[in-house]
Amino acid sequence: LKPVAAPEPKAKSGGLLRSSAVVGLMTLLSRVLGLVRDVTLAIFVGPGVAADAFFIAFKLPNFLRRLFAEGAFSQAFVPVLSEYREQRSFTDVRALVDRVAGVLGGSVLLVSGLAVVGAPVLVMLFAPGFIGDADKFPLTVELIRITFPYLFFISLTGFAGAVLNSYGRFAVPAFTPVLLNLSLISAALLSSRGFDNPAYALAWGVFVAGAAQLTFQLPFLQRLRLLPQPKWDRKDEGVRRIIALMIPALFGVSVSQINLLLDTVLASFLPTGSISWLYFSDRLAELPLGVFAIAIATVILPSLSRDQARASQESFSATMDWALRLVLLIGLPAALALVILSQPILATLFQYRETAPRDIVMSSYSLCAYSAGLLAFMLIKILAPGYYARQDTRTPVKIGIVAMVANMVMNIALVVPLHLFWQLGHVGLAAATALSAWLNAGLLLRGLRRAGVYHPGPWRGYALRLLLAAAVMTTLLLALNPDFARWLDWSWWQRGWRLLALCGAGLGAYLAVLWAAGLRLGHLRGPGTAL
């Protein structure tokens, strides 16, 4: 008798809106804890030498995480894994998972080891302004040697999350980042005990968080019978295809992150505090980006990959159109609110103890600049899967090169003329990043249209509804927002409830206008519904 092959575990069913909501809620929990983390850092560390050094040491492995985990790797791995699930046996799927785990894990372990040894070189490359600084340079080197192994753990965590997402288990990978925030909050609270410099406590918190996130996901892979037994086999057909897709995607999908690193390089030449100002404003701008755009992108990539494998072009286009409409529905009011309420939000969250009012004002300027590009950042997250689901990595690379060059040119144009006015320099960095993001998004959209894979539905009526609702919301927020001096006079709880009231009023006005204009929840449930 021939042995009977084990049946493939079934993917969980559920609409795209429901799956996006699950990912969004879990990501919201993570981002809220991320804000708590940043508030804790502002209270116990504050902008200064320790904070600037830690943010550099954390940003470098975090940047590579975007490449090896949910960034380029995920965009290359998920389409191939989806194709294996559709066209091959479960045994082949397990073999692919084993070999990808081996090659990815071995490669990232090597990169992490080289980074630990070459930490001084990394500081000279990515924070050249620290060279010659007797405090910042050696501290940053030591912190990098503690934080960089995080890359190994989080890359395998991203691999596990990609497998779980492909089988419809979206909640677990979306919840996992919560562990990072809990670890850093605990580290910040304990930083005064046993650590002369709080930055060391934060660095060890990053290390512990990486190990915890990977360990958390392993039992869920075991339930799918896909817990990998890593094997190094670069000659495997699936591995070679993923590498071929990933190499150009390493650049194409990470353009925004590379732009942020360029900002960091230039900011290292600005006065102490500039890196922290950019960090706090970037974190707030990333809140709607992470909660909504990344959640939607996470859900649509497996769907688009299956549509492509089945040659269902109509469904592919409908899914893209639905995702773009939903992102604009959320992103437009979020961007406007961040601009109008930039100082109240930053003061409510961060203006305590070690953080001075000037830090809030400086951060608000860069937050406004980042917010001007928020919609573009969100659109990139939605448009990029349209290429990677079709296993097209060349086009995003070409677009990424154009956007990166534009960002570098705009950095010089916007920052150097302001160099004499130190308090404005970091704003130019944020503005250049936002402008290059719009260029990136526009070229991605044009490429999908020209390829004939995305055909927009009727947009005029929908766009008018959004603009009308956004105009009403903006007018209301401007009328109700007190002078910034009053926000500084209030206690934390007064700031908190007033900010919540402002946000609630703005959101209520936005939704009320949309309802009056005829938009209903049923219009948002998924592709094919009339928005």
Better-predicted residue by pLDDT, 203 or 292: 203
Is 184 a residue whose pLDDT tops 50?
Answer: yes
What's the pLDDT score for residue 188? Answer: 80
Dihedral sign, CA of 367, 436, 336, 289? Answer: negative
Residue 114, number of CB atoms within 10 A of its CB? 13
In this predicted model, what pLDDT tens digit does every residue of 444-461 receive, in sequence order?
999 999 888 888 878 888
Mean pLDDT in the chain? Answer: 81
Q: Averaging pLDDT over each range in 129-138, 210-219, 248-257, 390-399, which range is the top one?
A: 210-219
What's the pLDDT score for residue 419? Answer: 45
In this predicted model, what pLDDT tens digit does every residue of 332-389 receive, in sequence order?
999 999 999 998 988 887 776 656 777 888 888 889 999 999 999 889 888 988 887 8
The answer to whether the beta carbons of residues 30 and 178 sit under 8 Å apart is: yes
Return d(Cα 328, Cα 376) in angstroms, integer. 10
| For helices 119-126 and 90-117, angle between their N-to-C axes, nearest 10 degrees | 90
Query: What pTM, to 2 d.p., does this model score?
Result: 0.68
Return d(Cα 464, Cα 466) in angstroms, integer. 5
Percent of the chain having pLDDT more than 70?
83
CA distances in angstroms from 160 to 75, 223, 275, 369, 391, listed in the order given: 14, 12, 32, 35, 21
DSSP 518: T
Mean pLDDT lowest for which of 28-32, 228-232, 395-399?
28-32
Among 72, 293, 23, residue whose Cα is nearest residue 172: 23
Distance in angstroms between the alpha carbons of the first and the last residue of the chain? 56
Q: How many helices (H) and strands (E) does the chain have?
A: 23, 0
- Greatest extent of the chain over all pairs of C-alpha atoms, in Å: 82
